[in-house]
Structures are given as C-alpha cells and as structure tokens.
C-alpha cells in the first residue's frame, strides 16, 4: 500500500543537454529553494533527486537511463526521484515501466507544476506524472536561481515547428509558443538592475519569435531593438536559429545595435541539397550560401556558428565531400560536429541507418581535423588585434588571471582581479592555445 512520503529537506539536481534545460534547472532550483529545500551537490546525501534529461542524442538518453536505473538497484530507497526534461515528454508514463522506482515525471512544458507534483507525491506516496504537449508560459522566470552573476539566459520562445526529419524536439517540446514581449523586456530590465551585463535569448528557433502571435506585433528583430534600449545590458546574444528565418532585418539589427553581438549560430547541417531535402531543412545549399553572402555583406565582421551531422542515411562519400567543402569555404568560428544517430519517434528512424559506424566516425574525424585548422588560423589572425572582453570569472588555476569572451564568443584569458568581473575590458591579444586566446589589458 502506498504511504505518504517524508517531506524532503535537501535536493540534488543534474542537468543534461542544452541551455534550455539549464534555464529550466535554474527555475526548478528557485522553486525548490522557495519551498525551503536546500541544494546539495552530493547526490547520495539528498532527499530529492531530479534528473533534467535530454533526448537529442541516443547516447545522452542511454547515459541517464543507466544512471537512474542504478538507483533502483540500491537496497534501500531513501530519496524521492523525479525525471524532468525532454525524455519525460518523449517517453511519458512508459518511464514508470522501465524505471519503477522513480516517483514523478515532469515534462518540459510542465516545469511550473513542480510544486504541485511534489505535494501530490508527498501526500499520496503514489507516482505522479504531468507532460503536456504545448507550453503555456505560466512559468515565473523571476524564480530562476542563477549561479552566474554576469550572464543570464532568457527564454523567449519554446518548441519548434520545423520538423527536421532527424530531430525529436517538435515531439518533446511541442509547437512554437512565443513569450509575451513585455514580459521578456521586463525580465531583462530586472536582470540589468541585478547587475547582469549579458543576456542570451533562448529558444529552439529564436528567429521564429512572434510569428505565432501576430497580434503582439513584435517579431524577433523588433524584440532585439527593444532589449538594446535597456540600460545596463551591454551584450545580447541569441540561440539557436534556423537559416530560413534569418531575415535581412535581423542582419541589419546585428549591424546597427550596439549591444547585439556579431556572432550568429547559422546551422547548415549538410552541404548537399539532396541530403538537406531528406533532412527537411527547407533550404538548398545554394540558398544557404546566398544568405551567408548577404549577411557578410551587411555585417563584414560577423562570426558564424554551425551544427553539422555526418553520415545521415544514404549520404554518399561525394555528398559528405560537399559538407567538407562547405566547412572549408565558410570558415565558421564555432562548429558542433556530430555523427548521425537515429532517434526514436522521428521520421528518419524509419530509414535504414545505412552509413556504417566506422565510415561516420572517419568522416567526423576528417571534419574535426579541418575545423581545428580553421580555429588555429582564426586565432593566429587575431594576434596583435584588440578585443573587448566581458570578464566572467577568475581562472580556476590562478586568481590573478581572469577569463571572459569577446563579442564573437572567443575565450580570452588575461591578467586581472576579481574587481574586473562583470566589466568590459579592452585587451590586446598576444598568443593562443587550443581553446583560448591570451591577452594583456589595455589601460585607457
């Protein structure tokens, strides 16, 4: 027979996956601390364990299933266990069959129900689950408990309507729902008052912002103009984007707004138009390249980021070579490179995963080598230049060195103190290693 559970006093929360999940975790931490619980970083000391999961890759899912499965093999079950995030939406109540020892499942669109679900589990001792298909922006973002004091994530749109054939997001996060622009601007003002200097606007496809709410009269570039006016916010970033929704107005905003950083994620995914069609990316390689050319004409110093998948079903060596050539030609500043893995529930799952794993890995390796060379070349070209760095923290190894990022998202380390944290400092770049540029501050 079920029994009422003890009220938990401490909690441990672990986040898998993307920035959207990190922000959801910050909101859950705030909610739990408001309830009087104390966060612990030691898993086996906590009365409540929450795993905020990711479904984007098979490996990420297997890792978390293994992790939570292990907890079920413990003789004594002490802590309450909750599974939140994309796996909760993708697997719904079947999670209870696979992991019978968990206590609640909360979908990405139900983070605001955490208090309610916890009350239910504690009162009844029964398992509880809540996974809605559509997000309703009932979340109180001011509850978020952020560890970072300089940069903050701000959610502007949830879900995705693009339905790329390899991606689970439209199924795990539901359709696009834009947050009210006044709420977003208000949150940014509050963050500025709290001393935050940089906001990153988050969504699966931020460029679609506002299209689902035509009455609001605020598209993505309009929102950027509004946030740019907020005193104290020195930098605006956003992620992630779909190339189709990157408009001329957005490019002009990157050129014209002082606080909007000249770094834009512009994911190509593949260099072959046939593969792009099979991925349902709704642009051809030629259309993509035209947009890149337009962007570089409007903002000559724009730095671009990308995601690429190699070994998509039916990809030939020749088609892979097109991706390789695109990477070489475009010279992205940041590239996230992946080998394809089929995701349950996606259209691509129905196709034979016919590129052998060793071929995928070999193609991935070739792309990585190419990109490493591009990174090194870009860093080399920056030597002797000056850059503006927003200082985020002292380095862990040496308190007399501080680290931060340039507007174009390059990591920089230079001599400084904790008084520099949160400030914009002009530096001269003099050397680099694999990940980082080293610099000397310029005393104005």
Residues contributing to the site for ligand SF4 (CB under 6 A) = 160, 162-164, 167, 169-170, 204-205, 242
Q: Considering the complex, what minimum distance in angstroms separates the CB of residue 388 from ligand SF4?
A: 30
| Number of residues assigned to the chain | 444
Nearer to ligand SF4, 112 or 265 (CB): 265
| Residue 20 vs 99, nearer CB to ligand SF4 | 20
Minimum distance between the CB of residue 268 and ligand SF4, rounded to whole angstroms?
A: 12
Tally of CA atoms within 13 A in the half-sphere of 118 that contains its CB: 24
| Least CB distance to ligand SF4 at residue 184 (A) | 20
Nearer of residues 205 and 259 to ligand SF4, judged by Cβ: 205
* HEC letters along the chain: CCCCCCCCCEEEEEECCCHHHHHHHHHHHHHHHHCCCEECCCHHHCCEEEEEECCCCHHHHHHHHHHHHHHHCCCCCCCEEEEEEHHHHHHCCHHHHHCCCCCEEECHHHHHHHHHHHHHHHHHCCCEEECCCCCCCCCCHHHCCCCCCCEEEEECEECCCCCCCCCCHHHHCCCCEECCHHHHHHHHHHHHHCCCCEEEEECCCHHHCCCCCHHHCCCHHHHHHHHHCCCCCCEEEEECCCHHHCCHHHHHHHHHCCCECCEEECCCECCCHHHHHHCCCCCCHHHHHHHHHHHHHHCCCCEEEEEEEECCCCCCHHHHHHHHHHHHHHCCCEEEEEECCCCCCCHHHHCCCCCCHHHHHHHHHHHHHHHHHHHHHHHHHHCCCEEEEEEEEECCCCCCEEEEECCCCCEEEEECCHHHCCCEEEEEEEEECCCCEEEEECCC
Q: Which is nearer to ligand SF4, 121 or 309 (CB)?
A: 309
Which CB, 164 or 308, lies closer to ligand SF4? 164
Least separation in angstroms between residue 405's CB and ligand SF4 is: 24
Q: Which is nearer to ligand SF4, 101 or 162 (CB)?
A: 162
User: What is the strand order of the sheet 198-202 is part of?
Assistant: 151-155, 198-202, 235-239
Q: What is the closest distance, in whole angstroms, from the C-beta atom of residue 436 to ligand SF4 in the complex? A: 29
Instruction: Select 170 or 210, whichever has its Cβ closest to ligand SF4.
Output: 170
The minimum distance between CB 213 and ligand SF4, in angstroms, equals 18
- What's the closest the beta carbon of residue 165 comes to ligand SF4, in angstroms? 9
Q: How far is the CB of 220 from ligand SF4 (least distance, A)?
A: 14
Please state the closest distance from residue 166 (CB atom) to ligand SF4, in A.
7
CB closer to ligand SF4 out of 116 and 163: 163
């Amino acid at each position: 027979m079920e029994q009422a559970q003890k009220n938990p006093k401490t909690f441990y929360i672990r986040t898998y996956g993307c920035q959207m999940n990190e922000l959801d975790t910050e909101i859950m931490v705030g909610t739990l601390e408001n309830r009087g619980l104390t966060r612990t970083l030691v898993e086996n000391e906590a009365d409540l364990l929450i795993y905020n999961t990711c479904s984007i890759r098979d490996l990420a899912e297997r890792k978390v299933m293994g992790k939570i499965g292990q907890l079920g093999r413990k003789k004594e079950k002490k802590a309450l266990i909750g599974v939140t995030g994309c796996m909760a939406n993708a697997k719904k109540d079947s999670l209870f069959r696979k992991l019978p020892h968990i206590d609640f499942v909360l979908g990405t669109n139900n983070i605001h129900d955490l208090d309610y679900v916890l009350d239910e589990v504690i009162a009844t001792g029964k398992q509880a689950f809540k996974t809605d298909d559509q997000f309703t922006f009932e979340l109180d973002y001011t509850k978020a408990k952020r560890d970072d004091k300089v940069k903050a994530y701000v959610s502007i749109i949830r879900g995705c309507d693009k339905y790329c054939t390899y991606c689970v997001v439209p199924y795990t996060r539901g359709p696009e729902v834009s947050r009210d622009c006044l709420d977003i601007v208000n949150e940014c003002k509050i963050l500025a008052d709290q001393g935050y200097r940089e906001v990153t606007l988050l969504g699966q496809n931020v460029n679609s912002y506002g299209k689902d709410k035509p009455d609001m009269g605020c598209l993505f570039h309009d929102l950027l103009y509004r946030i740019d006016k907020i005193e104290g916010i020195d930098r605006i970033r956003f992620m992630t984007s779909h190339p189709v929704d990157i408009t001329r107005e957005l490019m002009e905003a990157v050129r014209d707004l002082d606080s909007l950083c000249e770094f834009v994620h512009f994911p190509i995914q593949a260099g072959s138009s046939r593969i792009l069609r099979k991925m349902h990316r709704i642009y051809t390689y030629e259309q993509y390249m035209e947009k890149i050319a337009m962007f570089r004409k409007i903002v000559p110093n724009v730095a671009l980021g990308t995601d690429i998948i190699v070994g998509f079903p039916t990809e030939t060596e020749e088609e892979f070579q097109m991706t390789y050539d695109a990477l070489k030609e475009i010279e992205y500043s940041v590239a996230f490179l992946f080998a394809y893995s089929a995701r349950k529930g996606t259209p691509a799952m129905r196709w034979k995963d016919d590129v052998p794993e060793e071929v995928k890995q070999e193609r991935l390796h070739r792309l990585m080598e190419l990109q490493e060379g591009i990174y090194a070349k870009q860093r080399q070209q920056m030597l002797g230049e000056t850059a503006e760095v927003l200082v985020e923290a002292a380095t862990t190894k040496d308190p007399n060195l501080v680290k931060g990022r340039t507007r174009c998202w390059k990591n920089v380390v230079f001599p400084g103190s904790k008084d520099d944290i949160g400030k914009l400092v002009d530096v001269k770049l003099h050397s680099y290693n694999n990940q980082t540029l080293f610099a000397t501050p310029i005393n104005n």
